[in-house]
Amino acid sequence: MTYRVAIMGGDGIGPEVVAEGLKVIAAAGVELDTVSYDLGGERYLRDGVVLTDEIVAEWSELDAIYAGAVGSPGVPPGVIERGLLLRMRFELDLYINLRPFKFPGNADRDGHDFVVIRENTEGTYAGEGGFLRKNTADEIATQGSVNTRHGVERAVRYAFDLAMSRRKHVTLVHKTNVLTFSGDLWERTFNEVAVDYPEVTTAYNHVDAACIYFVDDPQRYDVLVTDNLFGDILTDLGGAVSGGIGLAPTANLNPDGVSMFEPVHGSAPDIVGTGKANPIAAVLSGAMMLDHLGEDAAADRIRKACSDPESLSGSTSEIGDAIVARL
């Protein structure tokens, strides 16, 4: 079986790490029929194109999208983030942002294994808001948070379903003590969905407290579910406490459509071309793509080959080669 996959290396170290991911996928025996898309900050600086309707339509016909990282110095904030990444998430309805964190070690001390389910299409990312009296002394800027019952419920249900295949524990992370409207919707939805999963135990943490537990006691977590912005921030912290952001993969999932796979990290323009970029996050994102394509055995082999990341050292391509050798 050959899968049709869009490749979007992007900017900075993006193309370098994606090349290693593709090398590893091929070595694991999975054949991809790839279509490359030159998009990101550099493309925008060259001809002003961020993303087109035609490209979105092409993507929706493919089996998956595999991406590196986007963002270039010199591009104003928001152009690529909103115009490319968020547009992709919204138009392809990639409503689950799944970020697993695993740290091998002493099971009751530093070892941990948890997954953050970040709602990926709503919250403060929705773009609600605007300016009044811009550039005056009386300027007002608002940035609302959009939370729909539908959007919250599908993220929460996904988290409970996932927990059923793991340690059967789900933690809701929010800030219900201050965000009394959106927090209330999240909490009620979470409690109602929980009734359908009597075997799953639940917990609730305020997001600030969750930050402490990520550092001090991550073993308490199995699956976490949270809002878009909280999830963005928490998952950088998740990477930092799990061996570094260079190891953290992402799946942006539409369980009924095309999905997109990328590292949590950014384009790191400061280290482009130095060989210092760690390709493991991109390789593990590739493994998540293989899971999604139904190539579970190859995905597991790749994860196994990356399971002691401290022993994988060298340049970007040397690490890729070492993973291939272990396959």
List residues with catalytic annotation: 125, 175, 208, 232, 236
86 secondary structure, DSSP code: I
Confirm or reject binding of residue 122 to Mn ion (CB under 5 A).
Answer: no
**For residues 239 and 251, what is the distance between their CA atoms, to the nearest angstrom?**
15
Beta-bridge partner residues of 318 = none
The nearer residue to ligand IPM, 71 or 320, going by C-beta atoms, is 71
Beta-bridge partner residues of 179 = none
The nearer residue to Mn ion, 232 or 295, going by C-beta atoms, is 232
**For residues 30 and 22, what is the distance between their CA atoms, to the nearest angstrom?**
10
Burial of 189 (0-12, 13-18, 19+ CB in 10 A): buried
Least distance to Mn ion from the beta carbon of 231, Å? 9
Binding residues for ligand IPM, rule CB under 6 A, total 4
Confirm or reject binding of residue 93 to ligand IPM (CB under 6 A).
Answer: no
Task: Pick the stretch among 104-112, 147-155, 218-226, 230-238 that binds Mn ion (CB under 5 A).
Answer: 230-238
Could you tell me how many residues make up the chain?
327
The nearer residue to ligand IPM, 82 or 276, going by C-beta atoms, is 82
Residue 58 binds which of ligand IPM, Mn ion, none (CB < 5-8 A, kind-dependent)? none
Confirm or reject binding of residue 81 to ligand IPM (CB under 6 A).
Answer: yes
Confirm or reject binding of residue 63 to Mn ion (CB under 5 A).
Answer: no
The nearer residue to ligand IPM, 121 or 182, going by C-beta atoms, is 121
Task: Pick the stretch among 38-46, 101-109, 207-215, 226-234 that binds Mn ion (CB under 5 A).
Answer: 226-234
Residue 51 binds which of ligand IPM, Mn ion, none (CB < 5-8 A, kind-dependent)? none
Left if phi > 0, otherwise alpha if psi is -120 to 50, otherwise beta: which for 12? left
Which residue, among 205, 259, 208, has the nearest Cα to 97 in the 3D structure? 259
3-state secondary structure of 322: helix
Reported in sequence order, the residue ranges of 120-161 that DSSP labels E, i.e. its strands, are 129-132, 140-143
Select the residue interacting with ligand IPM from 20, 227, 232, 291 (CB under 6 A).
232
End-to-end CA distance of the chain: 20
Select the residue interacting with Mn ion from 119, 122, 227, 232 (CB under 5 A).
232
**Applying CB under 6 A, which residues contact ligand IPM?**
81, 85, 232, 264
